[in-house]
Chains A and B, each alone.
Chain A
Amino acid sequence: MDRGRVGLLVLTVVLLGGCAQETKVTRVDSEVVTDLSGRWNDTDSRMVAESMVKEALGYQWLNNFSSSKHRQPVVVVGTILNSSHEHINVNTFVADLERELTNSQKVTFVAGKGDREELRTERKEQAMYALEETQKAPGKEIGADYMMKGSIATILDEAEGTKAVFYQVDLQMVDLESNAKVWFGQKKIKKVVEKKRSIF
């Protein structure tokens, strides 16, 4: 190969080097597990919500309530406390829980605290501005029978670039009348994240 061709080849490589894509987006199914950093992610949130709601609805308290009151229990999701080392978006997890509970068709689900405030404001405004026959009256909200609340906690251990993250999600169903805990569920996830100290 003469010098001119080598030069041309080098020039082509240099020029094409600049054409490499910096950002690449690939659309994947939302069910696909994408563990990138080892942190709490959408997959964890969804999987924990699904399995815990399934477990919660499989216990005897539901049948006991239905047979004694002849109706479905009314459930509200309360505070899920983030006691972890990460800024977990608890709202996403709460939304996952709400979705699973509602879609189960085994309980009647009522809006949580934040949503209720908004609905009440809307009713107040209806009382002032809407046609009388279309106004929704106050004092007709359905009171919840049970509140689901809980926490997400982590235990972290790290040495020499290897990190073990242990997530523990505790959820409980509390009877709003008697404060009795009718169900207590726990889900644990353990992840090991390994980082290489040096690469070429």
Chain B
Amino acid sequence: MSLLASSPTVSVPARWGIFISTQSFFALLAFVLLAGCGPSVNRYALIETSLRAHNPKGADAIVQSAEKEYGDKSRLLYGMDRGMTLHLAGDYQQSNAVLEQAEEELDRLYTRKIRTETLAFMTNDTALPYEGDPYEQVLINVLKALNYAVLGQWQDALVEARRIDHRLNVLSDRTTEKNAYRDDGFARYLSGILYESTGEVNDAFIAYRKAYEAFEATRTWSHTPVPSQLPIDLLRTAEALHFTQELSGYQSLFPDARWEARQALQELAQVVVISYNGRAPRKEDRFLDIPISLDALQLVLLNRGFSQSERNRGVDTVMYGLNGQVVRVALPRLVPQKTHVPLDRVSLIPDNGTPVTVNTELVHNVTALADKALSERMAVITSKALARAATKHAMAEATTRGAQQAAGKDAGPWVGLLVGLLTKGWAVASEEADKRSWQTLPDEIHLARVWIPPGHYRVQPSESHDALLPETMRTLFLGPGETAVLIQRVMP
């Protein structure tokens, strides 16, 4: 007996031996057609509210409490979101533990399960495990490196720098297109800073050089110029290594750059400011309704043809399901949430002496990277969505006819109508684009590095930008040659 069966009032005897009551049938119909139409609480809006209220622990609690909502298919996304909120909350150890798990999950996801792929083909791409875009995968290691650096575990931070290098090398080998995302200027630059801070000048020089090349190569689409500090870093490390040829090459490339010798800087302390500015872009559904008959065309035109995600999907589902001649394709669309803060500022106030004001500059444009990643995948997403829509329609058609025949002459027409509504309605209702992305990221990452006399400093973020700076970073005590990493979150 079917689990769906109750004591039937009017039973529809089907040949495959399942008895479905009309009540159960309509209940199931309503459930299937309306599934996905209910309002879902936007957790990212709640996280943002918490961050604005200077409550990063609250933001982390929101992500943590939603672990089940993320589900099995988005375990990586949960790890990334949680890693970020813990990082902002100043719990660097826990952030690293969560991000390490995320990285292991990413490793596991290399192997694809054919049955999962098949299920996703029958429903939509959200049934696939979330793998993250390559730039997001690199940012996992970037975040871990920063966590270790803040904790003063520099050797562990260097492990992450080496992983970044390896990840980018594998990516570069895999990607043949020259203009694609195949290297990461910011990740390379940060690696260079970490290497130089630990005295690994040769590794630092290589990382700076790769960073410069990556910034130059991606300039057209990343809208991120070479950071003004980077040429100075290149010149300083080239000189320290006695790389005369490279030094003269960079001198002619940057004739105005002035730098201090590495030896002189070793007497000073270094402060690296990382500023997360604004909100990462989100994704929306963009529905494309394709009519396959004339009256369906009229219906689609009446229904505004090209629809937006705000539309009532339940109505669409029933209407198109009844018509049975409309195929729906859902594609993701990127919605940028650009920041209005062009640069971030931090003041370092010593016990005695003049305060130092540090201006950060753009080093990582997350929105541009997300845009690039989506546009690179769009051709595959579209062709998959079209193939899926065609298959779903063909299956719905076959099921409807099968049901009509099975029900016999008397019940055939209305069984056909109901099954058609159910299957074709489901084909329309189940269509949904994969809108997942690492949304706790900022719109832009800004960076500044400055050398200051050793001593005790009070850190004051810019009041005009309402920046969030962890309590532990409000004061600094730096010895000669030491490096401090400051993390702040600037909301637009």
Contacts and interface: CB of A to CB of B under 8 A. Distances in A.
A3 B17 CA distance: 9
B407 interface: no
Contacts of B1: 3, 7
Contacts of B166: 85, 156, 158
A75 B155 CA distance: 25
B110 A199 contact: no
B156 A87 contact: yes
Nearest to A85: B162
A197 B114 CA distance: 10
Contacts of B113: 198-200
A159 B173 contact: yes
B111 A199 contact: yes
Nearest to A82: B155
A196 B112 CA distance: 8
Nearest to A198: B112
B163 interface: yes
B178 interface: no
B159 interface: yes
A86 interface: yes
A192 interface: no
Contacts of A82: 155, 159
Nearest to B114: A200
B114, B115, B170 interface centre (most CB from chain A within 10 Å): B170
B111 A197 contact: yes
Interface in A165-200: 195-200
B159 A161 contact: no
B112 A197 contact: yes
B155 A198 contact: no
B114 A81 contact: no
Interface string B148-166: 0000000110110011001
Interface in B91-112: 100, 110-112
Contacts of A195: 110-111
A84 B114 contact: no
Contacts of A158: 166, 169-170
B114 A85 contact: no
A71 B479 CA distance: 43
A161 B173 CA distance: 12
Interface in B121-163: 155-156, 158-159, 162-163
B279 to A, nearest CB: 31
B159 A198 contact: no
Contacts of B170: 158-159
Contact of B110 (A86, A87, A161, A200): A161
A200 B113 CA distance: 5
Given A7-B1, A84-B159, A84-B162, A198 B111 contact: yes
Interface residues of B, number: 20
B114 A199 contact: yes
Nearest to A88: B159
Contacts of A200: 113-115
A86 B155 CA distance: 11
A20 B155 CA distance: 43
B253 to A, nearest CB: 31
Nearest to A4: B1
A84 B162 CA distance: 8
Contacts of B112: 197-199
Given A159-B170, A197-B110, A87 B159 contact: yes
Contacts of B158: 83
Contacts of A159: 170, 173
Contacts of A156: 166
Interface in B1-31: 1, 17
Contacts of A81: 155
A84 B166 CA distance: 11
A161 B156 CA distance: 25
A82 B154 CA distance: 11
Contacts of A3: 1, 17
Given A81-B155, A87-B156, A198 B163 contact: no
A84 to B, nearest CB: 7
A198 B162 contact: no
Contacts of B162: 84-85, 154
A4 to B, nearest CB: 8
A194 B296 CA distance: 51
A85 B111 contact: no
A85 B110 contact: no
A56 B111 CA distance: 43
A195 B110 CA distance: 8
Interface in A142-173: 154, 156, 158-159, 161
B473 to A, nearest CB: 24
Interface in A42-101: 81-87
B104 to A, nearest CB: 8
Nearest to B161: A85
Contacts of A85: 159, 162-163, 166
A199 B111 CA distance: 7
7 nearest A-B pairs in the assembled complex, by CB-CB distance:
A198-B112, A85-B162, A200-B114, A156-B166, A195-B110, A158-B170, A196-B111
Interface of B: 1, 17, 100, 110-115, 117, 155-156, 158-159, 162-163, 166, 169-170, 173
23 contacts: A3-B17, A7-B1, A82-B159, A84-B159, A85-B159, A85-B162, A85-B163, A86-B159, A87-B100, A87-B159, A156-B166, A158-B170, A159-B173, A195-B111, A197-B110, A197-B112, A198-B111, A198-B112, A198-B114, A199-B111, A199-B112, A199-B113, A200-B115
Given A3-B17, A87-B100, A199-B111, 18 more contacts: A3-B1, A83-B158, A84-B162, A85-B163, A87-B156, A158-B169, A195-B110, A197-B110, A197-B112, A198-B111, A198-B112, A198-B113, A198-B114, A198-B117, A199-B112, A200-B113, A200-B114, A200-B115
